[in-house]
Amino acid sequence: MKKILLLLALFLLLPASSQAWSPSKDVTVIVAYKAGSGTDTGARLLAQYARKYVGQTLVINNLPGGDGKIGWTELSRSKPDGYTIGFINLPSFTTLSAQPNSTFSVQSIVPIANHLTETCVVVVKANSPWKSLNDLVNACRESDKYRCSTNGKQASNHTAAQLLANSAKFSYKAIPYGGTADQLLALRQGEVQFSCAKVADVAPLVSGETPELRILGVFDTKRLAQFPDVPTLGELGYYKEWYGSARAIVAPQGTPKEIIDFYEEAFKKTMNDPECVAAHEKAKMNLDFKNSKELGELIFSQLVFSRDIVSSLFKQK
Amino acid sequence: MPDTLVLVSQGLFHALSPINLLAMLLATVVGIVIGCLPGLSAAMGVALLLPVTFGMDPATGLIVLGAVYCGAIFGGSISAILIHTPGTPASAATAIDGYQLTLQGRAAKAISVACIASFCGGLLSCLSLYCFSPLLAQLAMKFKSPEYFWLSLFGLTIIAGVSSKSMLKGLMSGVLGLLLSTIGMDPMEGVPRFTFDFSILDSGINTTCALIGLFSMSQVLILAEKQIVKRSRPVDFKDKIGVNKSEVKRLTPHVLRSWIIGNIVGILPGAGASIACFMGYNEARRFSRHKEEFGKGSIEGVAGSEAANNAVTGGSLIPTLTLGIPGESVTAVLMGGLIIHGLQPGPELFTTYAGMTYTFFGGFVLTQFCMLAVGLAGCRAFAQIGRLSDAILIPSIFLLCVVGSYAIHNNFEEVVIMFCFGLLGWLAHKFGLNTAAIVLGLILGPIGEKGLRRSLILNDGDPSILFSTPLCWLLIGLCVFGLISPFLMRRMEKRMEKQMETPLAS
């Protein structure tokens, strides 16, 4: 009986699946950062395993420049035929799209699925006198001489430091270093007293026998499974929302729904593939699948954040 | 210590497995080809092969990446020597004397010298990788913002060395380069400067793009200006490939010096091979007994530059592996590779994962031999390019320039930038300005600017921070030495000439 039902189901499904869209040639994946960057490595890792479920090779096309502007402009102008998809970074994408004269907006892309999520944390050197976030806040409230390294003026990690400073009502000196690696190097060298960065960038420096850095707080609504002893900012009465970055897969505007559905399903399967999961764990990348709808909500909330909160954050300066 | 020795020999033994050797050889060849082609840099080569290594055994994968890196850095010298087109920015200084050698029909000689110097530089840098990793890593941590400012100033003193004809014009070229380096996003304020709303300029002028324009495209224009005639075949190679005893004696001190320079520059994040090659070249010139040959085809110049840039390879691996701080873009990609293979840079690489790390080191040593073999075997064939008629050569270089500058980011606007720099290079040639000095300004400008402005913000605008550490004073000393020595040397030379009466040149 079961077999017959299965056969029946198969027959019913066959015409449906032959109608459903699937790519018949290589798919181009636009990455708006250069080959070898964090986004690129993540994209290549996923593309490697997605091949099995997409049925075609995913060819990464790096279009770096202008902090992502060039690649994302190209992505939003690509032909919506399902043969060009791309990666966006949140909140960078929404921040840029909220700028005047932006060449793309959140309407120029269609969400497919979220790939990675990274939460922001507050870090100090392991030998810092500040043992807790309150130590840091109290010291900074007394004096505004303390320095914080950032990955660029008004860049993602500067925004994080600003969120903390505004919610805890202290002022500090932000020193831009142009990139997360340099920003953390400055902290390790002792050029600055504290820093805010994504947990993946910090994790290797806080573990091991002689950790170099110490995490004081997490920009999230709940504690991180990886660091259960570290309190959230909200617990201590500071910034209460999640703040971090996400990397997601999107298609250019006008891409038909059946194509979006196809990729959503394909990437869902990819991200549940044990080999793919193991590879991400090995690379210490935080896989976080969100479907098209959930990703759309995330993009919207990030847009609101970029447009309303970030713009007022830096105002008093 | 005996434990380490066991690990080292085990690593070397593992690296000798047939699959590793095969992978190494193939990757070296791929690296050389990628390095040869202008626009395809070492970083891009490593990034392109990174996904290929996902499926490999981690050690093999890392050996492949290391081999591509070394191969590409050497490969860049081939096109620099033959067609005055540095395949990667790391070979910019090689083009100065290497191309002159080609014009004299000594291309094979130049390539073999470049190959041997690269080999020595690479091999010596492995030595520091094995022996001095922790020590040198500490030095990298000592370099803070003020030190970077002084380092870039010291780099700029090289202008005095490369501008042999007129110091004034050399300085003008350097300042022009510095001015051009201010185009792009302001590193402190994050606002665009001098971009005229061209988004392509937001990230500044791409160095590779500028290099292709200044060195090769300008060469095309200069050559095309002359009536294109079938170039009288340059002298058949009189030179033997390889180096004879007296040349070994001549080159050894330069290679050793460049090794130290390359190594130290290599471990500093953000400096990299493009600066090291100029420094190596300049120091070779400073201490050479045959200064008159520099700029007119000196094998010492080629060796000084090439040994330095390959010494960077081992050097830049040190902070990448021990501290997780990549020295330049290539090692940043390589670090991505490490992480994907589940190896977290840091002290654990030398304890928990020591087996794999030492296999990688072993592979790195063997790669140098692969590079030497491939380079020497191929240099006669490569050199044939130097004998092509201009009628074929000019359009080919033109094509390479366009394709190369497009390949950097798959962006046509950068081809336009390349053309602008080609024109600038041609004009510079007309006015006797120095293209190498322009490139130096372009490379060093951002490092110096960031170092200075960040230091000042850190210290509330008080410049005393620039003189606050012993390392600062050491670098200031080097700057002063760099500025004064050309004059001192010239005076000494004159005195020597008077004494000897007979010139040294043969």
Predicted local distance difference test score (pLDDT) of residue B199: 75
| Sign for the pseudo-dihedral over CA of A288, A293, A296, A297 | negative
Name which of A48, A178, A189 is nearest B51 (Cβ-Cβ).
A48
Predicted local distance difference test score (pLDDT) of residue B506: 42
User: Quick one: tokens of B386?
Assistant: 């130097």
Predicted local distance difference test score (pLDDT) of residue A261: 93
Cα A35 to Cα A63, B81, B90, B468, distances in angstroms? 9, 28, 19, 38
Rounded to whole angstroms, the Cα distance separating B157 from B279 reads 10
* Shortest distance, CA B133 to any CA of chain A (angstroms): 18
- Interface check for B444 against chain A (CB to CB < 8 A): the answer is no
Residues of B in contact with A205 (CB under 8 A): 324
* Residue A307 per-residue DSSP state: I
Name which of B187, B340, B342 is nearest A41 (Cβ-Cβ).
B340
Residue type (1 letter), A1: M
The neighbour count for residue B99, using CB atoms within 10 Å, is 25
pLDDT in tens, B138-189: 888 888 899 999 989 988 888 877 776 788 898 999 999 999 999 988 888 8
Choose between B390 and B74: higher pLDDT.
B74
Q: SS3 of A194, please?
A: strand
Residues of B in contact with A182 (CB under 8 A): 269-270
| Sign for the pseudo-dihedral over CA of B90, B96, B97, B99 | positive
CB contact under 8 A, A283 and B342: yes
Name which of A36, A153, A188 is nearest B336 (Cβ-Cβ).
A36
Residue A276's φ and ψ, nearest 5 degrees, are -65, -45
In B18-106, which ranges are E strands?
Answer: none
Name which of B145, B199, B336 is nearest A69 (Cβ-Cβ).
B199
User: Quick one: tokens of A243?
Assistant: 């703040």
Residues of A in contact with B43 (CB under 8 A): 35-36
Residues of B in contact with A77 (CB under 8 A): none
Q: SS3 of A248, please?
A: strand
Bridge-based pairing of strands A173-176 and A287-290 is: unpaired
- Interface check for A49 against chain B (CB to CB < 8 A): the answer is no
* Shortest distance, CA A283 to any CA of chain B (angstroms): 4
A178 Rama sector, left if φ>0, alpha if ψ -120 to 50, beta otherwise? left
The neighbour count for residue A169, using CB atoms within 10 Å, is 10
pLDDT band at B236 (very low <50, low <70, confident <90, very high): low
- Interface check for A99 against chain B (CB to CB < 8 A): the answer is no
* Shortest distance, CA B52 to any CA of chain A (angstroms): 10
Name which of A173, A189, A282 is nearest B342 (Cβ-Cβ).
A282
Residues of B in contact with A209 (CB under 8 A): 347
Among A70, A127, A149, most B C-beta atoms within 10 A, so best to mutate, is: A70
Give the residue ranges of chain A where pLDDT is below 50. 12-18, 317
Rounded to whole angstroms, the Cα distance separating B459 from B385 reads 55
Cα B369 to its chain centre, rounded Å, is 20
Rounded to whole angstroms, the Cα distance separating B245 from B237 reads 19
CB contact under 8 A, A67 and B202: yes
- Interface check for B242 against chain A (CB to CB < 8 A): the answer is no
Q: A292-295 long-range CB contacts below 8 Å, 24 or more apart?
A: A292/A110, A292/A111, A292/A112, A292/A113, A292/A260, A292/A264, A293/A111, A294/A114, A295/A111, A295/A112, A295/A113, A295/A114, A295/A248, A295/A250
**Are the C-beta atoms of residues A171 and B207 closer than 8 Å to each other?**
no
Residue type (1 letter), B240: K
> Which residues between 237 and 266 in chain A have a beta carbon less than 8 angstroms from any beta carbon of chain B?
none
- Interface check for B427 against chain A (CB to CB < 8 A): the answer is no
pLDDT above 90: residue B204: no
Residues of A in contact with B340 (CB under 8 A): 41, 45, 279, 282-283
Residue A132 β-bridge partners: none
Predicted local distance difference test score (pLDDT) of residue B454: 92
Q: B126-130 long-range CB contacts below 8 Å, 24 or more apart?
A: B126/B314, B126/B361, B126/B364, B126/B365, B126/B368, B127/B314, B128/B263, B128/B314, B128/B315, B128/B318, B129/B314, B129/B317, B129/B318, B129/B361, B129/B364, B130/B8, B130/B361
- What percentage of chain B carries pLDDT values higher than 70? 94
Name which of A44, A61, A189 is nearest B51 (Cβ-Cβ).
A44
User: Quick one: tokens of A83?
Assistant: 């043969």
Cα B307 to Cα A171, B70, B121, B409, distances in angstroms? 49, 12, 4, 29
Residues of B in contact with A35 (CB under 8 A): 43-44, 47-48, 50, 333
In chain A, which ranges are E strands?
Answer: 27-31, 58-62, 84-90, 109-125, 147-150, 173-176, 194-198, 213-218, 244-252, 287-290
- Interface check for B349 against chain A (CB to CB < 8 A): the answer is no
Residues of B in contact with A152 (CB under 8 A): 190
- Interface check for B196 against chain A (CB to CB < 8 A): the answer is no
CB contact under 8 A, A208 and B347: yes
**Are the C-beta atoms of residues B334 and B68 closer than 8 Å to each other?**
no
Mean pLDDT of B360-375: 93
* Shortest distance, CA B215 to any CA of chain A (angstroms): 24
* Shortest distance, CA A99 to any CA of chain B (angstroms): 13
- Interface check for B341 against chain A (CB to CB < 8 A): the answer is yes
Task: Say what angle helices B2-15 and B58-83 make with each other, to 10 degrees.
Answer: 70
Q: SS3 of A121, please?
A: strand
Instruction: Return all residues near B465 (Cβ < 8 A) that are at least 6 apart.
Output: B146, B455, B456, B458, B459
CB contact under 8 A, A204 and B332: no
The neighbour count for residue A24, using CB atoms within 10 Å, is 9
Q: SS3 of B453, please?
A: helix
**Are the C-beta atoms of residues A139 and A146 closer than 8 Å to each other?**
yes
A and B: number of Cβ contacts within 8 A: 118
Rounded to whole angstroms, the Cα distance separating B450 from A297 reads 39
**Are the C-beta atoms of residues B467 and B150 closer than 8 Å to each other?**
no
Predicted local distance difference test score (pLDDT) of residue A14: 47
Nearest CA in chain B to A275: B55
Residue A249 β-bridge partners: A87, A113
Among A29, A31, A34, A177, most B C-beta atoms within 10 A, so best to mutate, is: A34
Instruction: Return all residues near A52 (Cβ < 8 A) that are at least 6 apart.
Output: A270, A273
Residues of B in contact with A42 (CB under 8 A): none
Residue type (1 letter), B186: D
Whole-number average pLDDT of chain B:
85
Rounded to whole angstroms, the Cα distance separating B43 from B333 reads 7
Instruction: Return all residues near B349 (Cβ < 8 A) that are at least 6 apart.
Output: B321, B322, B343, B357
Nearest CA in chain A to B270: A182
CB contact under 8 A, A44 and B202: no
Rounded to whole angstroms, the Cα distance separating B153 from B149 reads 6
pLDDT above 70: residue B221: yes
pLDDT in tens, B45-65: 887 788 788 778 888 999 999
- Interface check for A66 against chain B (CB to CB < 8 A): the answer is yes
Token pair 């479920």: residue: A53
Predicted local distance difference test score (pLDDT) of residue B505: 46
- Pick from B157, B372, B125: nearest CA to B262: B125
Residue B386's φ and ψ, nearest 5 degrees, are -65, -15
User: Quick one: tokens of B11?
Assistant: 């690593």
Rounded to whole angstroms, the Cα distance separating B249 from A224 reads 62
Residues of A in contact with B202 (CB under 8 A): 65-67, 69
Q: Please count the CA atoms within 13 angstroms of the CA of B401 that sit on its side-chain side.
A: 30
**Are the C-beta atoms of residues A31 and A40 closer than 8 Å to each other?**
yes
ipTM: 0.77
Predicted local distance difference test score (pLDDT) of residue A17: 46
* Residue B199 per-residue DSSP state: G
- Pick from B452, B402, B423, B408: nearest CA to B178: B452
Name which of B188, B203, B341 is nearest A66 (Cβ-Cβ).
B203
CB contact under 8 A, A175 and B457: yes
Predicted local distance difference test score (pLDDT) of residue A18: 46
* Residue B349 per-residue DSSP state: G
Instruction: Return all residues near B418 (Cβ < 8 A) that are at least 6 apart.
Output: B209, B210, B212, B213, B217, B401, B402, B404, B405
Name which of A36, A152, A210 is nearest B190 (Cβ-Cβ).
A152
- Interface check for B468 against chain A (CB to CB < 8 A): the answer is no
DSSP sequence for B236-283: ---SPSS--HHHHHHHHHHHHHHHHHHHHHHHSTT--HHHHHHHHHHH
